[in-house]
Amino acid sequence: MNAFKLSLRDQTDLVGFLRDLIQMPSPSTQEKAVGERIAAEMKRLDFRNVTIDRIGNVIGWIGPGKGPVLMFNGHMDTVRVSDPEAWSRKPLGAEIVDGVLYGLGACDMKGGLAAMIYGAKLLRDSGMDLMGDLVVACVVQEEPCEGLGSRVLIEEEGIRPDWVVLGEPSGLDVVRGQRGRIEMRLITHGRSAHSACPALGENAIYTAARLLFGLELLAEQLGNDAFLGPGSLAVTDISSSASSRNAVPARCELIIDRRLTLGENETKAIAEIQRVIAREGVRAEVEVTEYQATSYSGYPCHNREFYPAWVMAEDHPLVLSAVQAVREELKHRPRVGRWEFSTEGVYTAGVAGIPTVGFGPGDPRHAHTADEHVRLDDVHAAAEVYARLASQLLGTEHPSH
């Protein structure tokens, strides 16, 4: 079987496009410039029906306009640079050193986005007759609210794929699942008093401290799964409110990041916290937080911060097809594993039940780090694997070249 190979011209164009994406800042809700650049590239490469939807996702199509639909899915937004001094290169510089491209989003996940778009081009250029469509979906706001962009695509825009491939960094291995997560707010209540007479009040911070000890113990007793591993719990923020700094606070608030393995759900996670509260006999309550934002397109975003775990069976046809595509293009058998972080798969697989796998360039350990980078050879290889996988799912004959 002939391999899909990027021409030298395509490699040059892909790198230039990827550098443009990195040089354009795209923090969540501010993806407009990157979205417009992606739409322009899709049109230049002759994608059809290139559109920007109501929330700001960018969508482009390859194929006959009928039959099954394969979606390549990746996000356009990045985290912000928390500590510029920690970078040895400019975060938006898109510098290339010894075949490695440095910059914010290079690994997570503009390298994957560029590879997906050029993988779609490779598929079209092959001249293969396709029995279905490939849609490349570049979504918004994945970093703070994974699954939101995909939900709008599927539920509101009416794009219902038969398969989804996520281009998050996987080290060119195949991913078949991830833990879910729920973000909770734990609020403790006290009674305000002048801090010169603290015994007259009830300090909500002290109440929270008692619960913190219980949460630390709970974190060692969570569920476990042979594939996804254990659930986890971390308190990630604490704040209090009082009339002044000379007053005993009557309210304290904790934010809890709870990662959910298989067998754990929202009801179980909340009940565990409620048992800690009941055991301490304090005035407190726990609730799921709500994500709220306005997209760059003006779309109002609301989402309860619960994101389910998902796993595809190791012998699922889509997983087997992804493994086969890597073997045929890269001449080795990839590992089949899981992501530690959360992705759009929480919606596509976890809610919508659409067969989903992950595959992308870049080492996941480099995401959200100083000097984030991706190897350009891996970006090229990913594009070729994407084309091969799409040909297996949508093609009626092998390419002639």
User: What digits encode the pLDDT tens for the residues 48-72?
Assistant: 999 999 999 999 999 999 999 999 9
249-277 residue pLDDT tens: 999 999 999 999 999 999 999 999 999 99
Among candidate residues 292, 204, 184, 279, the one with its CA nearest the CA of residue 248: 204
Is the overall model pTM greater than 0.85, yes or no? yes
85-140 residue pLDDT tens: 999 999 999 999 999 999 999 999 999 999 999 999 999 999 999 999 999 999 99
Question: H-type helices in 166-310, by residue range?
Answer: 204-218, 266-280
State percent of the chain over pLDDT 90. Answer: 97
Is there a catalytic annotation at residue 397?
A: no
> In 3-state terms, what secondary structure has residue 169?
coil
pLDDT band at 3 (very low <50, low <70, confident <90, very high): confident
Specify whether the CB–CB gap between 364 and 339 falls below 8 A.
yes
Type and span of the H or E element at 235: strand 232-241
Q: Which residues pair with 253 in a beta bridge?
A: 187, 239
Which listed residue (20, 31, 41, 77) is catalytic?
77
The span from the CA of 71 to the CA of 318, in Å, is 12
The span from the CA of 22 to the CA of 24, in Å, is 5
Which listed residue (108, 142, 372, 384) is catalytic?
142
Is the pLDDT at 7 greater than 70? The verdict is yes
Is there a catalytic annotation at residue 133?
A: no
> By CB neighbour count within 10 A (0-12 exposed, 13-18 middle, 19+ buried), where does 167 fall?
buried
Cα distances from 102 to residues 21, 98, 281, 360, 369, in angstroms, run: 12, 11, 52, 17, 11
Report the number of secondary-structure helices (H) and strands (E) in the chain: 9, 19
The span from the CA of 94 to the CA of 200, in Å, is 59
DSSP string, 291-315: EEEE-TTS-EEEEESEE--EE--TT
Is the pLDDT at 6 greater than 80? The verdict is yes
283-323 residue pLDDT tens: 999 999 999 999 999 999 999 999 999 999 999 999 999 99
pLDDT band at 1 (very low <50, low <70, confident <90, very high): low
